[in-house]
Chain A
Amino acid sequence: MPGPMGKNNGAPAQKPKNFKKTTKKLIKNYLSKYKFAIFVVIIFAIGSTIFNIVGPKILGNATTEIFNGIVGKLSGGTGIDFGKVASILFTLLGFYIVSAIFSLIQGFTMTSVAQKLTYKIRNDIAAKLNKLPMKYFDKKTNGEVLSIITNDIDTLSQNLNQSITEIITAVCTIIGIIIMMLSISVTMTIISFVILPISAIIVKIIVGKSQKYFQRQQEYLGHVNGQVEEIYGGHTIVKAFNGEEAAIENFTKANNELYKSGWKSQFLSGLMHPLMNFIGNVGYVAVSVVGGYLAIQGKITVGNIQSFIQYNKRFTQPITQVAQVSGMLQAMVAAAERVFEFLEEEEEVKDPETSIDTSTIKGNVEFKDVEFGYDEDKIIINDFNAKVKEGQKIAIVGPTGAGKTTMVKLLMRFYDVNSGAILVDGHNIKDFKRADLRKMFGMVLQDTWLFGGTVKDNIRYGRPDATDTEVIEAAKAAHVHHFIKTLPNGYNSVLNEESSNVSAGQKQLLTIARVILANPKILILDEATSSIDTRTEIQIQSAMDNLMKGRTSFIIAHRLSTIKNADLILVMDHGDIVEQGTHEELLAKQGFYADLYNSQFDVEEAG
């Protein structure tokens, strides 16, 4: 793959941590299934190369024939035997055709192996994704996981496809060419081989030098890009604080460095081509001179010289190919390594074999001596006890970053408690199958999630078997029926991927309708509505009220005014539950909650 600056001239490649182990795994777990196909690939690759390599030798025969003919004509003979030349050329054509067919078969087989293999890895990854605990996703950014699924697999399939065939072809070509060259003339072969170490040394020197500058170039490119991104992103701040000159000065500094390293690395790698050419040409002259001498002596034919020069010219190609392929292999194994690492991640605790019937669940929730910490040694919820009866409203409040969502994550079993238990109607939530447990909960979150599809399908998401009438009923309860009616195709209107064709407020209402339809026993509501205008907000509030009727609800509250009538308020700070009780109890306590509540109305003494 080309780097950001043109060709791959010695730009550092990605290196795997453990080349051998990963390669073994790749062969054992995946490639071994395609033994036969890979065998076919190897045979046909070798065959294709052999037929291809013999080419110049045969072409040389044609040249000899023409040369002999011309010499014969000059000395009064019969001239060129065109019949013989034609038959030689047809043989050559035949060889090339066979070679092409072989290489086609080989390519076809290899591509299907690579594609099947990546298909399987992708499936494995998709299956794995659903088995990973939430902890994994907290550790890794979305970008990292996505990069494994897209980039790494892509690299794997592409490089696998190319590198295997190329390495076989390259090695065969090198061996074949050496044999052909030796068969023509040992002397000439030795001469052309003397050239090799010289060019190898030059390549090594240049690559070694340029590598350093390439690395520096990459580094400063990163700096420059980072600076541009930052300054562009903070444009208003730069302007508002008169920071333009400083920004330009900083940029010029980084740009200067980039210029210097870029100039050096590009110059050095640009030097490689002419130098290699020059050495190649010196070798070419030497071979021609010696070849001519040998031909005069009658040891070889004129056609032999031509074939030899052709072989000589083609010799460097497979060598550079091997160098390239080794880079590709490295990148491939590095990608495979990340993929395997991902596939070997620790999985969630398995679901219990037998599940509890959830149809009769009423929604009583009990927290019993619950202890929990994201880190084993950093317990943030200590010995938490609370009983929630069906239909009650529990509010979770606290400053930003207090860990309000922790409770939600525990309830839904995205995380397991360290000790103690959470009980639903007396059953430990660990005894439910995860899917069943999560079906009991309905969530309305700050970030609404709709998928590309019709409005109807989106509402029906939690209960695919719902009838149209039920969907409409749910929409009405969520105050979104009227809005849907105004859409061009009503309930069959298609939402696009980002659902940018509906406003944030309408999205929220649609998700509420979805939860109403799914009819869960327990609700989890994140009632942040800060990005929504007032009228929609009132609608959402009223839709939420409809939703909460007769259901146990956990509300992550941002506005304290809405939770005054909650049956239980959990006050969180720094991840810990610091207080619990009803609004009145907590106010009477004069503690953290009272502080939080009163701070809302602190009078600003401006002026």
Chain B
Amino acid sequence: MISIISIMLPRASVSARRINEVLETEASIKDKEETKKFVEDKKGYVEFKNVSFRYPDADTEILEDIDFTAKPGETTAIIGSTGSGKSTVVNLIPRFYDVTGGELLIDGVNVKDVPQKELRKRIGFVPQKGVLFSGTIESNIKYGDASMSDEQMKKAAEIAQATDFIERKEKQFKSEIAQGGNNVSGGQKQRLSIARALAIDPEIIVFDDSFSALDFKTDSKLREELAKQTKGKTIIIVAQRISTILNADQIIVLNEGKMVGKGTHEELLKNCEEYREIAESQLSKEELEGGAN
């Protein structure tokens, strides 16, 4: 007995210590005691004011001096090579992390001053990987608001080009989704996660490189539909493919955490070395010019 206990006790104490470590970690992102309210007359503005960011304990800044404004009715695209900080920029918008320098304003209010719940209600976030939860297609699309109407759900699926494959399923919207969404393909997962973001009818829609799992055809159809259906909303797209962002109102080019260009496709082709390199590697000369027309 004692010999068994002498093995078990130290093990248990190590486990207990590790559990405690988790329990004692304080949430670093908290609502302020007195939170401000959003002003209802300014909607869909995302303003990065000289924002910089570094992870706690890291030596170097991941983002430095990011400065731009995304306006309602406009598409703002963010492009850059892997590791340039594209995803980090959009992760700051729903306040997954707090900026470490500068200010991030949504609808004119600093994100640190408003309740997280209110903030996130305004943002439709589509992550890089289509993450789904076990349940049904319906429960996944209605994830942001279980009380939404079926019409709203169907409309979101329609825009996200998901209706086709949902209707091909026997139980349609009631079709089951396995844990982690393993019973639907990558592209379908992505479309459902886009539908989920659209379903809550947000002011700001953030696509974190959400189109790369889709083929060109679905991609372009989806964007066409999005453009039609989301007029007046603020769209922020992180992209790898130039073709996805060719016609954005504003393109932000990132390189190693710094903004190296800001402007439209044509402007950037003229005055941004990094952007031109990316463009040239993906499209031929004629296509570049053809596409811009």
A270 within 8 A of B: no
Interface centre among B96, B215, B219 (most CB of A within 10 A): B215
Q: How far is the CA of A242 from the CA of B117 in the complex (A)?
A: 6
Q: Which of B83, B200, B243 contacts A600, CB < 8 Å?
A: B243
Q: Which of A399, A560, A600, A607 contacts B249, CB < 8 Å?
A: A607
A231-242 vs B: 1/0 string, CB under 8 Å? 101101101111
The answer to whether B120 touches A241 (Cβ under 8 A) is yes
B196 surroundings in chain A (CB, below 8 A): 237, 241
A-contacting 9-mer, from B42-50, B58-66, B123-131: B123-131
The answer to whether B75 touches A607 (Cβ under 8 A) is yes
State how many residues of chain A have any CB contact under 8 Å with chain B. 42
| Contact status of A237 and B220, CB under 8 A, knowing A400-B213, A538-B281 | no
Q: How far is the CA of A308 from the CA of B123 in the complex (A)?
A: 79
The answer to whether A602 touches B220 (Cβ under 8 A) is yes
B-contacting 9-mer, from A209-217, A413-421, A527-535: A527-535
Q: How far is the CA of A233 from the CA of B131 in the complex (A)?
A: 8
B23 → A minimal CB distance (Å):
15
B120 surroundings in chain A (CB, below 8 A): 239-242
The answer to whether A530 touches B213 (Cβ under 8 A) is no
Interface centre among B193, B219, B281 (most CB of A within 10 A): B281
| Contact status of A237 and B125, CB under 8 A, knowing A230-B180, A531-B82 | yes
The answer to whether A599 touches B278 (Cβ under 8 A) is no
A569-607 vs B: 1/0 string, CB under 8 Å? 000000000000000000000000001100111111111
A559 within 8 A of B: yes
B240 within 8 A of A: yes
Q: How far is the CA of A283 from the CA of B172 in the complex (A)?
A: 66
B291 surroundings in chain A (CB, below 8 A): 600-601, 603
B249 surroundings in chain A (CB, below 8 A): 606-607
A604 surroundings in chain B (CB, below 8 A): 75, 223-224, 227, 246-248
The answer to whether A243 touches B224 (Cβ under 8 A) is no
The answer to whether A234 touches B179 (Cβ under 8 A) is no
The answer to whether A601 touches B243 (Cβ under 8 A) is yes
Q: How far is the CA of A233 from the CA of B127 in the complex (A)?
A: 12
B7-50 vs A: 1/0 string, CB under 8 Å? 00000000000000000000000000000000000000000000
Q: Which B-chain residue is minimally distant from A533 (CB atoms)?
A: B81
A-contacting 9-mer, from B105-113, B150-158, B282-290: B282-290
Q: Which of A231, A239, A243, A535 contacts B277, CB < 8 Å?
A: A535
A537 within 8 A of B: yes
The answer to whether B216 touches A599 (Cβ under 8 A) is yes
The answer to whether B133 touches A230 (Cβ under 8 A) is yes
Q: How far is the CA of A470 from the CA of B120 in the complex (A)?
A: 59
Contacting residues of chain B (194-243) with chain A, CB-CB under 8 angstroms: 196, 200, 212-221, 223-224, 226-228, 231, 235, 240, 243
B266 within 8 A of A: no
The answer to whether B216 touches A600 (Cβ under 8 A) is yes
Interface centre among A226, A561, A606 (most CB of B within 10 A): A606
B185 within 8 A of A: yes
| Contact status of A236 and B91, CB under 8 A, knowing A242-B121, A533-B81, A606-B249 | yes
The answer to whether A229 touches B179 (Cβ under 8 A) is yes
B221 surroundings in chain A (CB, below 8 A): 599
B116-149 vs A: 1/0 string, CB under 8 Å? 1100110101010001111000000001101000
A246 within 8 A of B: yes
Q: How far is the CA of A241 from the CA of B82 in the complex (A)?
A: 27
A602 surroundings in chain B (CB, below 8 A): 220, 223-224
The answer to whether A599 touches B287 (Cβ under 8 A) is no
Q: How far is the CA of A234 from the CA of B75 in the complex (A)?
A: 26
Q: How far is the CA of A533 from the CA of B283 in the complex (A)?
A: 15
B264-293 vs A: 1/0 string, CB under 8 Å? 000000000010011001111001001100
| Contact status of A401 and B73, CB under 8 A, knowing A230-B180, A236-B91, A236-B127 | no
| Contact status of A230 and B223, CB under 8 A, knowing A240-B94, A601-B243 | no
The answer to whether B215 touches A400 (Cβ under 8 A) is yes
B72-90 vs A: 1/0 string, CB under 8 Å? 0111000001110000000
A240 surroundings in chain B (CB, below 8 A): 94, 96, 120, 123, 125, 127
Q: How far is the CA of A15 from the CA of B225 in the complex (A)?
A: 54
B216 surroundings in chain A (CB, below 8 A): 399, 560, 596, 599-600
Q: How far is the CA of A550 from the CA of B179 in the complex (A)?
A: 49
Q: How far is the CA of A601 from the CA of B219 in the complex (A)?
A: 11
B186 within 8 A of A: yes
Contacting residues of chain A (537-572) with chain B, CB-CB under 8 angstroms: 537-538, 541, 559-561, 564
B187 within 8 A of A: yes
Q: Which A-chain residue is minimally distant from B283 (CB atoms)?
A: A561
The answer to whether B287 touches A606 (Cβ under 8 A) is no
The answer to whether A537 touches B281 (Cβ under 8 A) is yes
B224 surroundings in chain A (CB, below 8 A): 602, 604-605
Q: Which A-chain residue is minimally distant from B117 (CB atoms)?
A: A242
The answer to whether B134 touches A230 (Cβ under 8 A) is yes
Q: How far is the CA of A399 from the CA of B134 in the complex (A)?
A: 27
The answer to whether B143 touches A243 (Cβ under 8 A) is yes
The answer to whether A601 touches B290 (Cβ under 8 A) is yes
A246 surroundings in chain B (CB, below 8 A): 146
Interface residues of B (CB under 8 A from A): 73-75, 81-83, 91, 94, 96, 116-117, 120-121, 123, 125, 127, 131-134, 143-144, 146, 179-180, 185-187, 193, 196, 200, 212-221, 223-224, 226-228, 231, 235, 240, 243, 246-249, 274, 277-278, 281-284, 287, 290-291
Interface residues of A (CB under 8 A from B): 226, 229-231, 233-234, 236-237, 239-243, 246, 398-401, 530-535, 537-538, 541, 559-561, 564, 595-596, 599-607
10 nearest A-B residue pairs (beta carbon): A533-B81, A399-B215, A606-B75, A240-B125, A241-B144, A602-B220, A234-B131, A599-B220, A601-B291, A604-B247
